[in-house]
Amino acid sequence: MHSTHPPHLILFDGVCNVCSGAVQFVIKRDPNERMMFASLQSETGQRILKENGLPLDEFNSFIYIENGTLYTKSTGILKAMRQLKGIYRWSYLFLAIPRPIRDWFYERIAKNRYKWFGQKTSCMMPTPDIQKRFLS
């Protein structure tokens, strides 16, 4: 990573209903407000994609950045889940499943997420109480 980022940053597809739901899920289970967020379509998201040589117009991967290290797809989700309170943090143990298997399932959902769950016409707008956790 070339620039500095918060220690825990999630990049998500801002028009994806599943992705926006996942962000809401994390917010509710992150009482210490460690996680920060940015949509892949935002200036921050686009800059990070560019810095890492990732496509600027394909928003089919959940990206989690932990202390400057970028994780994508199932690994990103599982690493992020480890930061949450309660039983959800134990999903981290799924990292023991080989990545190609985990990512196969991830890619099936990512490929069909708009068809199965719909999409928004614009990026989600955070409520004022959580706005501070979103980077533009």
Q: Is the dihedral of CA 81, 90, 29, 35 positive or negative?
A: negative
| Segment holding 12, helix H or strand E | strand 8-12
Confidence of residue 20 (pLDDT cuts 50, 70, 90): confident
| Per-residue b or e along 51-81, where b marks 16 or more CB atoms closer than 10 Å to that residue's CB | eeebeeeebbbbbbbbeeebbbbbbbbbbbb
pLDDT at 64 > cutoff 50: yes
pLDDT at 3 > cutoff 80: no
Side chain identity, residue 12: F
Confidence of residue 11 (pLDDT cuts 50, 70, 90): very high
- Does residue 74 contact residue 105 with C-beta atoms inside 8 Å? yes
Angle between helices 99-117 and 17-28 (to 10 degrees): 110
* pLDDT tens, residue by residue, 90-136: 998 999 999 999 999 988 887 777 677 666 655 556 676 777 788 77
- What secondary structure, in 3-state letters, does 62-97 show? CEEEECCEEEEHHHHHHHHHCCCCHHHHHHHHHHHC
